Structures are given as C-alpha cells and as structure tokens.
Chain A
Amino acid sequence: MATHRTVRNEKLVAAGLLFLLVGLALGLSLGSVSLPLRYVIKALAKGPSGAGALSADGMETLADAIVWTLRFPRVLLAFIEGAGLAVAGSVMQGLFRNPMADPYVLGVSSGASLGAVLGIALGLGGVFGVWSLPALAFLGALGTAALVYALSTYRKRTDTWTLLLAGIAVSSLISSLIAFIMVIARERVDEIVFWTMGALSRASWMSVGVSLVYTVPGLFVLLRHAKALNALSFGEEPAFHMGVRVEPVKRTLLWTSSLVVAGGVAFTGPIGFIGLIVPHAVRLVTGPDHRWLMPLSGLFGGNALLFADLIARVIAPPREMPVGVITALSGAPFFLYLLAHSRRRRE
C-alpha cells in the first residue's frame, strides 16, 4: 500500500474528529434557544442527573434540561444515522459497481415512509405507544427490502441488475400508494409530509439507544467485509476467481446495510443525499479502497448530518426546517460540482 495515501488518510481522520468536536459543541449550544458554551460544558459535567435539578441560575437550569433531554440525543442520533447512511452508501456503490447507488436501493426509504404514513393515516399512534410510527416504519422498510430481494433472487443467486430495477419499480409503486393515501387522508397531510421530509426533532434517548443497537454491530459486520468489497467492485465473476464467497457476502452486505439504514430512518424519516454524496466525495480523496473508504465515509457522513441538522435548526427561526430539505438543498449542488469537477479531471 502506498504510504503517502496512508498519511493523507490519517490526516483526514484527524480532520474528521475535529469537525465532530466542533459539530457537537455547536449542536449542543445552537437552536431556538442559544446556550453559551460554558453552560453547555457545565451541564455536561453535571451528568444526566443534573437535568431535573433546579439551580440558583435560571439559565443553568434551562441549559441542563435542554442539553440533556433535547439536544444531546439529537446530535448523537444525527451522527449515528449519518454514519450509517454513508457507510451503507459506500457498500451499495461498491456492490453495484455504480457511484450512483445509494443506501435506499432496496426501497428501504419508501418502505419506511409507507409504514409511517399508514400509521399516521389510520391513526395508529397509540397501538405501540410512542413506538408505533418507528415500529411501522421499520417493518415497512425491511418488508420492502425483502420483497425487492425476493423478486431478484432465483436459485439462491441474486442478480444485481434485477435488484436495481426491482428497487426502482417497487419504490415508485410505493410512492404512488403514499400519494393515494395522502389524498384519502387529507386532514393528516401536514403530518405525513413532515414525516416523509425527514427530521431529527423526534430524537430521544430511546431512539439513540435503539439505533445504536442496529448501527454498531451492523457497521462492524460491514467493515469486516471491506476487502471482499474491493474484489467485488471488479465484478462478481472476477471476485469469484479471486476466492470471494460471492453470494453469501452479497447477501450479508445487502441485509446488514438495509438493517442499519432502517434502524435510523424509522425514527427520522428518509434523509437523502448523505448516503450518495459522502462516499463519493471521500472516494475522490482517499481512493476506492474500502478499508479506508468505509470508516472515513462513516466519520464524514455523521459529521455531514450533524451540520445539516444544525443548519436546519437555525436557518429560519423560530421555525425548524426538516433536515432532509437541507441535505437535498446542499447535497444536490455539491454533487453536481463533483460530477463536473471529476469529469474535467478525466478529460
């Protein structure tokens, strides 16, 4: 391995961690109520038990509560989900040998939306308590992934092109179902629209805990397959001749990515562009070796969603933008810039 690349990658890790630190600090202090950094640090020092206690300084009491019950889980969920989306995106791009692939290839995002929209429209808010919408969204996401997977698997072999096409077809079918439901359940359109735009305002310690349970082991499994993914990005047949267990590896990668993504999307609604752009941008700098590409995508994907959420909170006070709007607004032009830039470099 070329050493200059390793050195550059180590610098990137350092830069990513620095961004993370700044993002956390800003994420805890900015919002509809701005908290000076010293209050944030005090609140953190007191620990979660400090959140309920009254203190002589009214600002301090408020800061404790905001930091511990609202903002801390929110920044954590942003980082976890952003990391999951970006790593899953790098996996899908490698597997499909296509830099246009994103973590929603198997229809996970539209499936999650359908689950949540059904829950909202049928007023199932109370069936599983606060867990109703996330549970329905999660079921919708995995159900769709299973359907797309089954449609493209024959005699234990999964055809990647069929998978791509089936994913597109099933997703657009679901989109029209959602539109259908929105017309029928007109009085709940606002709620539906807000959910499908993706937002982190529903974050709680519970959602952080649950998405950690999906994301951490999932990312571990994905990272262990970095070398196999390198070989697979040359095509499935060449990878076979290099000694990769093509079908089992493919199955593991597809399902683990879908689980990681579904675990986040179930709480926040679909958030676009992070899983598409971050791996793409990281690849331009580090090269395509998944042993670096995947962890660095995770780090910068987490940061990207963290900062996007920050912008979503402060851009139009006192209102809060859905973070999905911000990722699309900043992601699409950035992506177009990358496209033009990399083309110019090649020619």
Chain B
Amino acid sequence: MNGGRVTVQDLRFKRGGREILKGISFQVEPGQVAAVVGPNGAGKSTLLKVISGYLRPASGTVRVGGVDPVSLHPSERSRLVTYSGDEPDPAFAFTVEETVEMGKVAVEAPRSRVALQATLQAALEALQLTGLRDRPITSLSSGERQRVYLARAVYQDPLVLLLDEPTTHLDMAYEVHVVEMIRDLAEHGKTVITVVHDLNLALRSASRLLFLKDGRLRYDVAPGEVTSEVIGDIYGVEVQVASHPVLGTPFVTPPSARKA
C-alpha cells in the first residue's frame, strides 16, 4: 500500500492546440506538502486539475495511490483525491453545514451516522465555521466561503488534497490557521499539493517547492535550497533570500528592481 503517493511522469497537456504542460515529472509522498509556485500562466492550476482526473493529459502518466484517477469510478476517485479551488458564485442558499456535508455526496452507504456527525463537526471546527453552520452560503464573504469549500474537502477526507490557492481570500489570522491545518493533514499521512502565489507562505508551509515556468518543472527543491538565483530565473526579478529571524526558514525580501 503506497497510500496517496502522487507520481507524475512526462506529463503533457494541450488546450486549443497549445501545449500548457510540457513534459512534467515528479513524485510527492504521503506526509509531504508540496507547493507549486511560478508566474501567472505557468500551468499550475492545470497541473492540479490533471492530477485530479478532471482534465485528461495528452500524454504521460498520472498515478494517485498507484492508479490512474481517470480510470476510477467517480465515487472511488472522490475518496482518493479531491481538488479545491475557486468556485462559481453559489446559485442557491444552501447552509454552511449542508455545503460541507456534500463532501460525502458520492459515498453511498455512510459508515455510521454518529461517526459521520463527528467528522462533520471536526471539519467545521478545523476551519472555525461552527458559528456559521446555519448561515446561507450566499450571505458569506469570499473569505468565509473559501473556508467552507476547504471544510468540504477536509470532510470528504481523501488521501490526496489538491488545494488551489487555499488562502487567497483569507485574512492573516485565518491564513496562519489554514497553513497549520494543512501541515496537520500531512502529519496524519495525507499528501497535499498546493498552488501558492505568496513565496514566503510557500517557504513557511511546504516541505517542497515545485517551480513551474512555461509548462515546465524548472526546480524541485526543499525550502532551504531556494536561492535568489532560482527566483530570478523563474520570475525575472531580483530578490534577496535571507533567513527568517524567528522561524529560521528562508525569507524572500520584495524585489528591489526589475532584472535588466
């Protein structure tokens, strides 16, 4: 049993004749948090959606827990891997609790009502939503809604979580909280792959950074291996990488000037 190991090999993806992913290979183990970083349009979200089985690769292989997610029955797939990202505005006023409950919509026979209630409660607590449980999601702010969708993914409880910009709409306190929750999920054996824009957030939260540019994986490094050369190569900006005075993790200072 290799749990939720994610293996991607020579992955290519095309949309409208244009190649978005150009031969990507890497592997992420259970217990790891990998952050996919890189400039806009590098193919980060597309990569997560191909791993989730939603988009089909033009060539190459994706294995999640040793199997191709596309080959699985959707309900089986939903217990192995899920993707959580930006969603269209809700059309109807489901409550927060009803929305989170939909994480188990594909599971036919629930284990037991009591156990399910306990996991639901845990998911609501993990995202600090217990006070909002009866509120219609149409009345929530984008940050609150983002936490609801994250809670739904947590309640779905797959081995692999693909989180596309999980903290974009969150304030600093919730951002810290969600980062801790992601680490906690990994410590409990989940495989987590995130797409993150804030490099310092990625450096603080991930055990590995996958730098994507123009559909290619340029660097696959641990946070400690991130240098100003790597960032200059990827983003074309000059930065300084220092050690965080308190955490000891690498810390990127804002770019001072555009590279010539």
Chain A residues with a Cβ under 8 A of chain B: 1-2, 94, 97-99, 227-228, 230-231, 233-235, 237-238, 240-246, 283, 287-289
CA distance A307 to B125 in the complex (A): 48
Contact code string B82-104 (vs A, CB < 8 Å = 1, else 0): 11100110111111011101110
A-B contact count (CB 8 A): 77
Q: Which one of A228, A231, A288 has the highest number of Cβ atoms from chain B below 10 Å of its Cβ?
A: A288
Q: Which of chain B's residues has its CB closest to A342's CB?
A: B93
Interface size class of B (residues with CB under 8 A): 20 to 34
Q: Are B105 and A287 in contact (CB under 8 A)?
A: no
Given A243-B105, A243-B106, A2 and B97 contact (CB-CB distance below 8 Å) = yes
Q: Which of A98, A231, A242, A244 contacts B91 (CB 8 A)?
A: A98
> Across the interface, which residues of B come within 8 angstroms of A233, CB to CB?
91-92, 94
Residue pairs across A and B with Cβ atoms less than 8 A apart, 7 shown, are A230-B98, A241-B52, A241-B82, A245-B74, A246-B74, A287-B94, A289-B94
Q: Are A242 and B97 in contact (CB under 8 A)?
A: no
Other than the given A241-B52, A245-B74, 8 more pairs (CB < 8 A) read A2-B95, A99-B92, A227-B105, A230-B94, A235-B87, A242-B78, A242-B106, A243-B156
Minimum C-beta distance from A17 to chain B (A): 26
> Across the interface, which residues of B come within 8 angstroms of A99, CB to CB?
91-92
Q: Which of A1, A94, A231, A234 contacts B90 (CB 8 A)?
A: A234
CA distance A243 to B74 in the complex (A): 5
Q: Which of B54, B92, B95 contacts A240 (CB 8 A)?
A: B54
Q: Are A242 and B103 in contact (CB under 8 A)?
A: yes
CA distance A288 to B83 in the complex (A): 24
Q: Which of A94, A98, A242 contacts B156 (CB 8 A)?
A: A242
Minimum C-beta distance from B51 to chain A (A): 12
Q: Which of chain A's residues has its CB closest to B133's CB?
A: A2
Chain B residues with a Cβ under 8 A of chain A: 52, 54, 73-75, 77-79, 82-84, 87-88, 90-95, 97-99, 101-103, 105-107, 134, 149, 152, 156
Q: Which one of B95, B97, B102, B103 has the highest number of Cβ atoms from chain A below 10 Å of its Cβ?
A: B102
> Across the interface, which residues of A come within 8 angstroms of B102, CB to CB?
230-231, 234, 242
Q: Which of chain B's residues has its CB closest to A248's CB?
A: B74
Q: Which one of A231, A233, A242, A287 has the highest number of Cβ atoms from chain B below 10 Å of its Cβ?
A: A242
> Across the interface, which residues of A come within 8 angstroms of B79, CB to CB?
243
Minimum C-beta distance from A22 to chain B (A): 31
Given A1-B98, A243-B77, A243-B78, A288 and B105 contact (CB-CB distance below 8 Å) = no
CA distance A207 to B191 in the complex (A): 58
Minimum C-beta distance from B49 to chain A (A): 8
Minimum C-beta distance from A322 to chain B (A): 33
Q: Which of B83, B98, B107, B134 contacts A241 (CB 8 A)?
A: B83
Q: Are B98 and A289 in contact (CB under 8 A)?
A: yes
CA distance A61 to B197 in the complex (A): 82
Q: Are B91 and A97 in contact (CB under 8 A)?
A: yes
Minimum C-beta distance from B94 to chain A (A): 5
Q: Are B92 and A283 in contact (CB under 8 A)?
A: yes
Q: Are A228 and B87 in contact (CB under 8 A)?
A: no
3 smallest CB-CB distances across A and B, nearest first, come from A243-B78, A243-B106, A288-B92
CA distance A289 to B92 in the complex (A): 9
Minimum C-beta distance from A233 to chain B (A): 6
Q: Which of B54, B105, B134 contacts A230 (CB 8 A)?
A: B105
> Across the interface, which residues of A come within 8 angstroms of B92, CB to CB?
94, 97, 99, 233, 283, 288
Given A1-B98, A237-B54, A243-B75, A97 and B88 contact (CB-CB distance below 8 Å) = yes
Minimum C-beta distance from A184 to chain B (A): 43
Q: Which of B88, B93, B101, B103 contacts A288 (CB 8 A)?
A: B93
> Across the interface, which residues of B come within 8 angstroms of A1, CB to CB?
98, 101
Q: Which one of B74, B83, B103 has the highest number of Cβ atoms from chain A below 10 Å of its Cβ?
A: B74
CA distance A287 to B149 in the complex (A): 19
CA distance A258 to B199 in the complex (A): 51
Q: Are A244 and B94 in contact (CB under 8 A)?
A: no
Q: Are B95 and A234 in contact (CB under 8 A)?
A: no
CA distance A287 to B105 in the complex (A): 18
Q: Are A238 and B97 in contact (CB under 8 A)?
A: no
Minimum C-beta distance from B204 to chain A (A): 27
CA distance A104 to B191 in the complex (A): 46
CA distance A23 to B102 in the complex (A): 38
CA distance A283 to B93 in the complex (A): 9
> Across the interface, which residues of A come within 8 angstroms of B90, CB to CB?
234
Q: Which one of B77, B98, B149, B156 has the highest number of Cβ atoms from chain A below 10 Å of its Cβ?
A: B98
> Across the interface, which residues of A come within 8 angstroms of B78, CB to CB?
241-243
> Across the interface, which residues of B come within 8 angstroms of A94, CB to CB?
92
Minimum C-beta distance from B160 to chain A (A): 12
Minimum C-beta distance from A210 to chain B (A): 34
Q: Are B105 and A242 in contact (CB under 8 A)?
A: yes
